[in-house]
Amino acid sequence: MSNNRKCQVLVIGAGPGGYVAAIRSAQLGLNTIIVEGEKAGGVCLNVGCIPSKAIIHAAERYEALGKHSKEEGHMGITVLGNTEIEMKGIVEWKDGIVQRLTKGVETLVKNAGAELIHGWATFSSSKNCTVKTENGDINIEAENVIIATGSSHIDLPFMPCDEEFVLSSTGALSLEKLPKKVAIVGGGYIGLELGCALRKLGTEVTVVEGMDSILGIMDKEIRRPLEIWLKKNKVTVYTNALAKGAKIKGKGASRKVELTFEKDSEEQKITVDKILVTVGRSPNSKGWGVENMGIRMDTSGRFIRIDRQCRTSAPGVYAIGDVAGEPMLAHKASAQGEMVAEIISGEKREFDKVAIPAIVFTEPEIVSVGLTPDEAKEKGEEVIIGKFPLAANGRALTIEAEKTAGFIRVTARKEDHVILGIQAVGSHVAELHGEFILALEMGAQLEDISDTVHAHPTMTEAFHESVLKTLGHAIHTS
């Protein structure tokens, strides 16, 4: 037996975009229902951003202990005996963090006054859906709908993920045993983040990338320190190489998986314990009745078409996050969710961001905000560029952040010194991105940063110095 419900705001999906939209809607006094088919927090919290960063941190700790375990030690510190890995323990620790955060999201939604329904929604029209729950169907009629269905891992049709030998990123985050050898199909940020972590834990890693370079979203100069780290740490990288298939070899506990790929028109094979497939993500724009809602898709047919207020072609229906287009980033979804809730409540808002930060948590970390030098030039800008090495920063030396050949690079318009883009690469640089994005959103000029006192000794001084370098008078580098 089904029951009928009405609400002012119906949110589909409790990921970073959806739960923020629901909380903000409820805060504004709107009768809000949010529907989630799995766990609150979405991919990012459960099987993406958060768990991957937890495993990356564990790998860093293990690697650091390994340095102190050498005969001569490190920094005058020697750890006697061998450091050991229990992959199951790392995963349990990671799961504890995830569980705490998912419960936290549910509590936040409840405390804000929104109602969370666990089930799968199917729309029969733009503002009517049926939610299948464990306790029966619920029919919901909404005045406004916010679609925040997120995205899913892309499977290769000729090499589907079985999560035993061929893994998605989800499977890679739940390993019970550390594999000795792993092949990663796809040299984007997801594969490389997990690849760096696995290498630090002692796994032999091979990357197979179809394009002519890894991490193609970043320019050559900014990804160069990562390429150096991969080579130094004996990570094998094949570019212009296309995966062709996988085959299980052996029997019982000794079973392996053989990856076949094509490189330079020749077929090659490698045998590993696990294959990790990270060839991208696809928006969840099908399977829940979008065709019944009168919603137009974009020219690719993959994403829901929206305007600068995240409105779809159906009145009163909005789409946010991964399902609404690139960049497919959690923080973009959250910002859109908050904005849409305020628009529904009557506020005048639009999504008009100068830049959305992109961060890659490899070794070293990479941050990109705004335009690269080449992108600025392509837009017809005459620019000035400054680059400051982390090796010249005192704080970077004390935390060994300089060992990755990292730097901060600033691009500004020559005519008026307005900052157009900032990129950084190096250990711990992800935490600097806040100042970068704030500078762009506020339309800061180089002089705004150069005239701001930065605390010593901190990594932020490197940003200050990169701006001084752009102006032609850096203090701590020639």
CATH number for the domain harbouring residue 18: 3.50.50.60
pLDDT at 79: 85
Does residue 85 sit within a domain? no
> What's the chain's average pLDDT?
95
Tell me: pLDDT of 74 over 90: no
d(CA 342, CA 320): 14
DSSP state letter for 243? E
432 shares a domain with 363: yes
List pLDDT tens digits, range 90-108.
Answer: 999 999 999 999 999 999 9
**pLDDT, average across residues 183-206:** 97
- Final residue before a domain boundary, out of 297, 316, 344: 344
pLDDT at 189: 96
List pLDDT tens digits, range 375-390.
Answer: 999 999 999 999 999 9
Does residue 79 sit within a domain? no
pLDDT at 2: 61
The domain total for the chain is 3
Quick one: pLDDT band at residue 119, thresholds 50, 70, 90?
very high
Quick one: pLDDT band at residue 77, thresholds 50, 70, 90?
confident
Phi, psi (degrees; rounded to nearest 5) at 467: -70, -45
Does residue 120 sit within a domain? yes
Return the active site residues.
Answer: 456
Distance of alpha carbon 39 from the chain centroid: 19
List pLDDT tens digits, range 327-337.
Answer: 999 999 999 99
Q: Are 132 and 36 in contact (CB under 8 A)?
A: no
d(CA 185, CA 210): 9
Tell me: pLDDT of 263 over 70: yes
Tell me: pLDDT of 1 over 60: no
Does residue 80 sit within a domain? no
Q: Are 451 and 424 in contact (CB under 8 A)?
A: no
Show the tokens assigned to 366: 């990479």
pLDDT at 175: 95
List pLDDT tens digits, range 448-478.
Answer: 999 999 999 999 999 999 999 999 998 998 7
Quick one: pLDDT band at residue 31, thresholds 50, 70, 90?
very high
CB atoms near residue 379 (< 10 Å): 10
245 shares a domain with 216: yes
pLDDT at 279: 95
19 shares a domain with 127: yes
Q: Are 188 and 217 in contact (CB under 8 A)?
A: yes
**pLDDT, average across residues 431-438:** 97
d(CA 378, CA 236): 34
Tell me: pLDDT of 70 over 90: no
Handedness of CA 15, 17, 18, 24 (dihedral sign): positive
Per-state percent for the chain, helix, strand, coil, to nearest 5: 35, 30, 35
Q: Which range of residues forms the domain containing residue 249? A: 166-279
452 shares a domain with 391: yes
Quick one: pLDDT band at residue 293, thresholds 50, 70, 90?
very high
Q: Are 337 and 318 in contact (CB under 8 A)?
A: no
318 shares a domain with 203: no
Beta bridge partners of 206: 183, 236
288 shares a domain with 267: no
List pLDDT tens digits, range 130-155.
Answer: 999 999 999 999 999 999 999 999 99
List pLDDT tens digits, range 224-234.
Answer: 999 999 999 99
- pTM (2 decimals)? 0.94
Residue tagged 């940020």 (tokens): 189
